[in-house]
Each structure stands twice: as structure tokens, then as C-alpha cells.
Copies of this chain bind each other. A is one copy, B any other.
Amino acid sequence: MVANPHLPVLLDLLGVFAAAVAGAFAGLRKGLDLVGILVIAVASSLGGGMIRDALIGATPVAAISDWRYFAVALGATAAVLSVTSRRMSDSKLKSAIEEVRGRAVRLDRIALVADALTLGLFAVSGTLKALNYHLPVFQAALLGTVTATGGGVVRDVLVNEVPMVLQRELYAVPAFVGGLLFALLERHGFVVQGYLAAAGSVVITAAIRLVAVWRDWHAPRPGAVA
């Protein structure tokens, strides 16, 4: 179905990288120590794929049986920590409070982009794996949505917050749209090989998510329906 056998793993590893970056920033914002940051980055970047593989019976799950998943999560966390700690020492002269405020804004912005990319990458990788397990288009997009939102739910529940997927900006919707788009492209042979369909679907998912945040798009509340 998909021409290139490396595509699923490539999407997964890119998704793990982006998710670990978003997870490490969540840990930094919560004031966790290095081990806590590592735990949350690993759990949230590997969690979505673990749930996906357990649900379709692709066991042992790839996030455990393939060492590159953990290595990428570790590398992404190390990258975040080295960049953020260097910045911190560059700005010794600023007052502590200002610096923390300025950093928080920048961190939130990077974390948001990383989170949107995670959403797109895992939506497509989950959809693709489901197609390879012979699920139909709609169900494949549903598994893609579970994969894409699962890791973020793990992250938010671990730090004891109401998961982003329940909050006002669109989160699950772009994942489902991206997964469905990819599944339809794959099934109808609009692409010579999977890379282009995959890249396009990832970008569209992430773009919808980011525009939803920046323009404060959200679904109406039921009160507004009446």
C-alpha cells in the first residue's frame, strides 16, 4: 500500500522528537528536576505510539522493542535542556523575574509549535499503521487521532492538568482531518509514494492547529447553540 517501508518508522521517530521537545518544555514550566523532565518527555513522546500499538495488537510495541524510540526521546530532551540552560547563563545581568517571564513566553511558543508538529506526525503515522493493519479509511483516521492526542493526554494527566484535548482551541479535529486526508490520498493512489502525502498531511494538521491557537478558533459552547 505504501511504497516505502521506512515511512512509518520515520514518521514515528520525527513524532517522538517533536513530542519529547513539547514534553520537556512542559516539565521545565512545571519546575521539575532533570529526571522528572526526562520522565515526562519520554512518557509523553512514547505514550501515544504505545497506546496505538496495544490497541491494534502490534506487540511488543515499537516504542519498547525498537531502541531508537527511547534514544530519540532522550536526545530531544538533552537538546532542549542544553539550549535552555545556555540561554539562562547568557542573561545573567537581567533581573530574575523579567528573565523568567520572557523565557516563559518564548518557551510556550516553541512548545506550541512542537506540539502542533507532534499532532500532525502522529496523526499520519497512526493512520498509516492502521492502514497497514487493514483497517478501513475512517477507522484508520480514528486510530491516527488516538495516537496523536494520546501522548499529550498522558503528559497533561501526569502533571495534573485538564488535558489540552478538552480545552477550547481545536486539537482533536485537526488530527482527524489530517489522518483522514492521508488515508484518502493513500487509498486513491494520488501519490507515487507515501512521502508526499505524508508530508502534506502533517503540514496541514499542524497548520490548522496553529491557526486555531493564534486566531483563537474554537468550537462554540452549547449555551451559544440555543
Q: Which residues of A contact B (CB under 8 A)?
A: 27-28, 30-40, 50, 53-57, 59-61, 64-67, 70, 81, 84-86, 88-89, 130, 133, 135-136, 138-139, 142-143, 146, 153, 157-163, 165-168, 170-173, 218-223, 225-226
> Does A160 contact B158, Cβ atoms closer than 8 Å?
no
> Does B226 contact A34, Cβ atoms closer than 8 Å?
no
Q: How far is the CA of A128 from the CA of B72 in the complex (A)?
A: 25
Copy number in the complex reads: 3
> Does A166 contact B32, Cβ atoms closer than 8 Å?
yes
Contact of A67 with B167 at beta-carbon distance under 8 Å, contacts A33-B221, A222-B28 already known: no
> Does A153 contact B160, Cβ atoms closer than 8 Å?
no
> Does B60 contact A64, Cβ atoms closer than 8 Å?
no
Q: How far is the CA of A170 from the CA of B32 in the complex (A)?
A: 12
> Does B153 contact A158, Cβ atoms closer than 8 Å?
yes
User: Which residues of chain B come closer than 8 Å to A220, judged between CB atoms?
Assistant: 33-34
User: Which residues of chain B come closer than 8 Å to A65, judged between CB atoms?
Assistant: 135, 139
Contact of A56 with B64 at beta-carbon distance under 8 Å, contacts A33-B221, A158-B166, A162-B160 already known: yes
Enumerate the 8 nearest inter-chain pairs by beta-carbon distance, A residue then B residue, closest first.
Answer: A57-B59, A89-B226, A35-B219, A34-B219, A88-B226, A33-B219, A85-B225, A36-B166
Q: How far is the CA of A217 from the CA of B36 in the complex (A)?
A: 13
Q: How far is the CA of A84 from the CA of B67 in the complex (A)?
A: 45
Contact of A157 with B159 at beta-carbon distance under 8 Å, contacts A37-B222, A57-B60 already known: no
How many Å from the CB of A178 to the closest CB on chain B? 15
User: Which residues of chain B come closer than 8 Å to A133, judged between CB atoms?
Assistant: 60
Contact of A34 with B222 at beta-carbon distance under 8 Å, contacts A64-B135, A65-B139, A139-B64 already known: yes
